Amino acid sequence: MTYLAVPIAPKSVPEAQEQIKAAVAVGSELLELRTDFLVHLSVDLAWQIIDAARQYAPHLPIIVTCRDYHQGGALRHSNQLRTDVLTAAVRAGADYVDIEYGNYQSVAIRSKIFLAVTDEANIRLILSAHNFQTKFKSIRRLHNEIRYVQSGVIPKIIYSAHHINDCFDMLDLLHEFGNGMIAFCMDEPGFITRIIARKLGAFASFACINEKTATAPGQPTAAQMKNVYRWGSLNAQTELYGVIGSPVAHSLSPALHNGCFNEAGLNKLFLPLLVTGGRQEFNTFVDNILSRPWLDFRGFSVTIPHKENAIEYVKSKKGTVDPLAERIGAANTIVINGTQLSAYNTDCPAALDTITSSLGIDRAGFNKMPVAVIGAGGVARAIVAGLTDAKAKVIIYNRTVERAKKLAREFKCDYAGLDDLKKLKAQLVINCTSIGMHPHVNATPVDEKFLNKDMAVFDTVYNPAETLFLKQAKALGCKTISGLDMFINQAAAQFKLFTGQTANIETMRKTLLNAQK
């Protein structure tokens, strides 16, 4: 079992009591008492905090830590005091004490801790090494050194990941030695290691009570771990998926897919995969995943800026590219089946299905329909490909006119700049820009005076579900279509590709609306 450890970082005993109760309430499975945050730290205060833990969380095992300031500790307590606190913690019945491996090499410190630990049969020592700057030079050598200091120690090795590709040294270590060690990467690029740690059998991973009480960069909340990332159901067999993009921290895809995996009782997990940089970083990331079949990755959603990189990657690996994705020149879905890759684009059919079902028409209904598409980026491209295929009369309006011209030439339609929206004449108007998206909810791509009640208006922006553009169009009497429906449809199509099963659209809608609250 991998514990979900919740650290508490109190400045005083009353604060400790409150935090211990809160840690229990969020479902902590292991309590870490960070005594280094105590302003007037003393052996007596540490005892009181351990007593509080025994009183308010009698069922939880306890780690006592008094982190050195130079290894991420809160205050500059002396080595002597920190050693006294830890030896007292051993005698007070802590289950684990955590001390920095570097400090444990000092004979004075080691002899005191060693003596205390050997007197107590049930205590285990955690020897930790942190690097807040970057990766360790040789994480494997460091692990071996720590492991062989004395028998029964739990090595804890943590470093900051600058890029998601920095995570693979850590995942390799966990794969080889996961059982009984603590190992993960800090900061947003390292986020996945904190969760995959459970699949790879780590001793513990850490989560905070809430964002304010986080004790390390990139530490998720216990609620996120349990409710979004399915902590309780992860095991060695869990198959992995994720959304590759930059940024991805606010993507709703993990909540959406994990909610559906959960409901369908599937042993699958969907992660946010922050891949910064361009094609090279994307290729390196997917190479890293594919060369580690034990990670059990089975597929990716792909978003800005990697949809074109995705299709090129799959082609370079002699994978299968769906004809629609080929026509669009971009893929938002990759399915991994052993060593075989397939690329798809679910944005285009999702958008067209959303429009046809809202307007009560079929695809033939687009024939000769005058449609204004605002924007010339990735989503516009997918929608223009579908609409022109269905013989709609499309005009593309874009801020950068050159980009509109290029897209229009490729799909044989018209183009104009945003100024020309004052002459807007269309049966269907589609916003494919990010204008109006959270947090810029007071912006709209088209002045309402250029709309009229005979137009249908579709906004691909899905956060908020009803944008200002849609609100104004609705007030004029236009038929309006929300990007939320397209988002759900494209995710449902991905779910089908990932699992072979039909997604529950209502679960998806509820999950999304809850996540947007």
Minimum gap (Å) between residue 487 Cβ and ligand NAP: 4
Sign of CA dihedral 226, 227, 228, 230: positive
What residues are labeled active site?
307
Dist. CA 328–CA 324, nearest whole Å: 6
- Position closest to ligand NAP via CB: 377
Q: Residues 279 to 318: which contact ligand NAP by CB under 6 A?
A: 304
Site for ligand NAP contains 373 (CB under 6 A): no
Cα-flanking dihedrals φ and ψ of residue 481, to 5°?
-130, 130
**Residue 350 CB neighbours (<10 A):** 25
Site for ligand NAP contains 380 (CB under 6 A): yes
Q: Which residue lies nearer to ligand NAP by CB, 171 or 437?
A: 437
Sign of CA dihedral 309, 310, 316, 317: positive
| Sole binder of ligand NAP in the list 7, 375, 386, 464 (CB under 6 A) | 375
CB 321 within 8 A of CB 298: no
Minimum gap (Å) between residue 478 Cβ and ligand NAP: 18
Dist. CA 275–CA 281, nearest whole Å: 7
| Sole binder of ligand NAP in the list 399, 406, 471, 479 (CB under 6 A) | 399
Cα-flanking dihedrals φ and ψ of residue 449, to 5°?
-70, -10
Minimum gap (Å) between residue 242 Cβ and ligand NAP: 17
Site for ligand NAP contains 377 (CB under 6 A): yes
Tokens of 362: 């079929």
Buried b (16+ CB within 10 A) or exposed e, 157-195: bbbbbebbbbbbbbbbbbbebbeebbbbbbbbbbbbbbb
Binding mask 400-429 for ligand NAP (x = CB under 6 A): x--x--------------------------
Minimum gap (Å) between residue 354 Cβ and ligand NAP: 8
Minimum gap (Å) between residue 468 Cβ and ligand NAP: 13
Cα-flanking dihedrals φ and ψ of residue 40, to 5°?
-110, 60
Site for ligand NAP contains 85 (CB under 6 A): no
Q: Which residue lies nearer to ligand NAP by CB, 222 or 274?
A: 274
Q: Which residue lies nearer to ligand NAP by CB, 242 or 375?
A: 375
Q: Which residue lies nearer to ligand NAP by CB, 117 or 384?
A: 384
3-state secondary structure 98-137: EEEHHHHCCHHHHHHHHHHHHHCCCCEEEEEEEECCCCCC
Site for ligand NAP contains 433 (CB under 6 A): yes
| Sole binder of ligand NAP in the list 227, 288, 434, 504 (CB under 6 A) | 434
Q: Which residue lies nearer to ligand NAP by CB, 398 or 472?
A: 398
Hey, is 76 helix, strand or coil?
coil
Site for ligand NAP contains 461 (CB under 6 A): yes
Stretch that binds ligand NAP, among 19-27, 136-144, 313-321, 399-407 (CB under 6 A): 399-407
CB 99 within 8 A of CB 126: yes
Q: Which of 243, 294, 275, 306 is nearest to 495 (CA)?
A: 243
Site for ligand NAP contains 505 (CB under 6 A): no
Site for ligand NAP contains 483 (CB under 6 A): yes
Minimum gap (Å) between residue 132 Cβ and ligand NAP: 33
Q: Under 8 Å CB-to-CB from 178, ≥6 apart: which residues? A: 197, 200, 201, 202
| Sole binder of ligand NAP in the list 20, 64, 343, 432 (CB under 6 A) | 432
Q: Residues 312 to 351: which contact ligand NAP by CB under 6 A?
A: 347
Cα 65 to Cα 38, 114, 224, 245, 351, distances in angstroms: 12, 16, 24, 36, 53
Buried b (16+ CB within 10 A) or exposed e, 293-327: eebbbbbbbbbebbbbbbbbbbeeeebebbebbeb
Q: Residues 441 to 460: which contact ligand NAP by CB under 6 A?
A: 460
> How many of the chain's residues bind ligand NAP (CB under 6 A)?
24
Q: Which residue lies nearer to ligand NAP by CB, 15 or 308?
A: 308
Q: Which residue lies nearer to ligand NAP by CB, 126 or 437?
A: 437
Site for ligand NAP contains 468 (CB under 6 A): no
Site for ligand NAP contains 376 (CB under 6 A): yes
| Sole binder of ligand NAP in the list 486, 492, 508, 512 (CB under 6 A) | 486
Minimum gap (Å) between residue 224 Cβ and ligand NAP: 23
Dist. CA 208–CA 133, nearest whole Å: 22
Question: Which letter does DSSP use for residue 208 in this model?
Answer: B
Write down the residue that tokens 């684990």 correspond to: 96
Q: Is the peptide bond before 305 cis (omega within 30 degrees of 0)?
A: yes
**Residue 284 CB neighbours (<10 A):** 16
Site for ligand NAP contains 379 (CB under 6 A): yes
User: For binding to ligand NAP (CB under 6 A), which residues are involved?
Assistant: 304, 347, 375-380, 398-400, 403, 432-435, 437, 460-462, 483, 486-487, 490
